[in-house]
Amino acid sequence: MKLSDVRSALCATLITEGDDLDREVSSACGSDMMSDVLAYVKDQAVLLTGLVNPQVIRTAEMIDMVCVIFVRGKAPTAEMIELARECGIVLMRTDLRMYEACGVLYSAGLRPNK
């Protein structure tokens, strides 16, 4: 699935304009606990979270995420946006809740890597 398809499925707003939405992704995860993401997530391409702090971007960078999607209409700070641009991470936001957003992406074919 392309990031543009992810954006459409979630009715998401692209935060980091100019990013390549033709990138293919095949997996996603959702968590507000970055310690769990670091401990249990391997080879995921998209992170859905309601947590809004720079640690989210640092965590995504450490495990090679290509996209972070903020749920519940949360918006990252200017510092986070700049950090994401430096790391090449696409940022989006959706008004959907975490449960709904994960369900939409699962139904669209994104799965967790095992």
Domain ranges of the chain: 3-107
Please report the pLDDT score of residue 114 as a whole number. Answer: 62
Per-residue pLDDT tens for 34-46?
988 888 777 668 9
Domain 3-107, CATH 3.40.140.10 — does that match?
Answer: no
pLDDT digits (tens, 9 = 90+) for 65-111: 999 999 999 999 999 999 999 999 999 999 999 999 999 999 998 87
**For residue 13, which phi and psi values (nearest 5 degrees)?**
-100, 130
Q: Could you tell me which residue, 28 or 96, shows the higher pLDDT?
A: 96
Consecutive H or E run containing 10: helix 3-10
Taking the C-alpha atoms of residue 85 and residue 82, their distance in angstroms, rounded to an integer, is 5
Distances in whole angstroms, Cα of residue 95 to Cα of each of 20, 29, 32: 22, 17, 16
